[in-house]
Structures are given as C-alpha cells and as structure tokens.
Amino acid sequence: MPPLNVLCFGEALWDCLPEGRHLGGAPLNVAYHLSRLGCSAWPVSRVGDDSAGRELLDQLQDWELPIELVGTTPKWQTGLVNVSLDEGCPTFHIVEDVAWDYIALPKSLPGSCKPVDVIVYGSLAQRTANNREALQHLFDAAPDALKVFDVNLRPPFDELARVWTLARETSLIKLNDEEAAILLGQSSPSKNIEASARALRKQTGCDRICITVGSAGAGLLYQDLWYWVDAVPVQVRDTVGAGDSFLAALVQGLLVLAERPEATLNRAAILASFVAGSDGATPDYAFDDLF
C-alpha cells in the first residue's frame, strides 16, 4: 500500500531558542516526524515573501516534505516565536499578525495528496477567523478524513469555547495534563489521568484521547480501554517539540498502522524522549536508528 496522506494544518514559523533558530510550529514538527515514520505528510500553512520564508521552504524541501500547500505572501512576514527556557521547559512569545495567520488553500487539493486520510490541526492556528474558515474548507474538501486535534493552549490565544468546539468534531484528541485541567475547570492537573480522559470523552464524544504527563509518561483512552506508558528517562536538552513527535507516532500507530495501543504508546515515548534529549523540535534521525 502507498503511504497514507496526512495533512498538517497550522503555523509555520521559526523558533528562536537560546542556542539558535530552529524551524518550528507544531504542524510542521508533526509533519517532519510523520515523514520520518514513513507517512506522506503535507504541511498546510503560509510564509512571508522574505528571507525567513524562503529559508523555511528550503528547509522543508531538504526534509523532502511537499510545499505545494504552503503559500507565500508579500503582505505579512514569516512567523516567529521567541522561546525562553527554564531548566529545559519552554516559555513561548508568539509574534502576532504574521503569514500563518492567513492560510490560503487552493480551489482544489493537489491530486498527489488524495485521498486525504488524516487531517492534523491545533488550537493555536485558530486564533484568526481566516484560519477557522480555511480549516472548515479543508474539512469540506476531505469529508472522509480522520480528524486529529492537537490542543496547544498558548495564552492569550486559548479561547476555551473554540477549543471545545474543535474537540467535539474530531477523531483523536491529544493534550497534556495541564491543558486537560484547564478544560475541565481544575485548579491543577489531576493525579488521576484516566478520570480526566474519561471526563473529556463524556464532554466531547471522542473515544480516542491521549494525555501526556511530561517526565511521568502518557495515558491513552482508546475505545473505552485505558493504556499507560512510562516516559523513557533522558537528560533533557529542551522539551520543545517533544509532544509533537509523540503525536506523530500516535497518528502513525493508531490511524495508519492500526496496531495495538500499547505498541504505539511505547514507540511514541521513545521518540519523545529522543527529541527532549536533543536541541530543537526536529533533530535528524532515521526510523531504524530509534526503533
């Protein structure tokens, strides 16, 4: 069988970390790791007609990712995020009104990405009405695609009503324990992660919910059964993109390979640990090097 087509919709930007600049944005990170895992991953975003945008497109091509769905505009600059680290934990300062806030889709999708099997999208890119309309256009263009919602609550772009709307029309939800607590109105993350996942299922109707818990591990509620994996110990360099790599492995295992949840969680934990022990969200590796 040919690789399944996974479209990753949202922000395309440069993460500026203390040690240097790295290509970033959760959808691009997920696309990068999906391609390393053998999927046909398509970033869907927009960059400025500037040196940063041209460098971003060059990098995607170096990674052998298609750029047909990454538009270019002279009106807005390429996205930028300033990232500060405290013992490896990032704080994000996200520049507003940039190119990825105005994603424009073609009238018809390229034939080479059809059929669209999976659409991965996050909450951050929904901060503009333009992108909310573009995402709905993508859903309409690929009505049979599975929907994967990556919750990324980045204040002040974290309107909960919008997050709940997205969560109620998806096939798989991935979020961390702090985000789960916010959605459930809890003052701090619950120690009972399974209970949080089941509460989210009750409110969303989604029967595949993954909650990551940093260095502790991650849990997955999958068709009413609960699975857990401990995190793989690692000397953390920075955690930027570790959750994105985890999601990529989750998508590949559950939706592409249709394998047992335990095997998927184990692979996701290994990959996230590798990324957390590396600089930036997209370290170089080959599938056979890790698994």
What does the pLDDT read at residue 1? 61
CA distance 206 to 274: 29
Closest CA to 93 of 14, 201, 188: 14
Distances (CA, A) of 217 to 100, 210, 226, 269, 271: 32, 11, 14, 7, 12
Q: Which two tokens stand for residue 13?
A: 């930007």
Distances (CA, A) of 287 to 92, 239, 246, 278: 29, 20, 14, 16
Structure tokens at 264: 């998927």
* Cis ω before 3 (30° cut-off from 0): no
Under DSSP, the state recorded for 189 is -
Residue numbers in the chain where pLDDT is lower than 50: none
**The residue to which tokens 């394998």 are assigned:** 259
CA angle 238, 189, 158 (to 5 degrees): 70
| pTM (whole model) above 0.85 | yes
- Nearest residue to 36 via CA among 272, 283, 285: 285
The pair of structure tokens assigned to 195 is 């209970």
Q: What distance in Å separates the CA atoms of residue 190 and residue 230, rounded to the nearest whole number?
A: 17
DSSP state of 254: I
CATH numbers and ranges of domains, the chain: 5-284 (3.40.1190.20)
Beta pairing, strands 146-150 & 116-122: parallel
pLDDT at residue number 255: 81
Pair 57, 70: CB distance under 8 Å? yes
At residue 291, the pLDDT reads 81
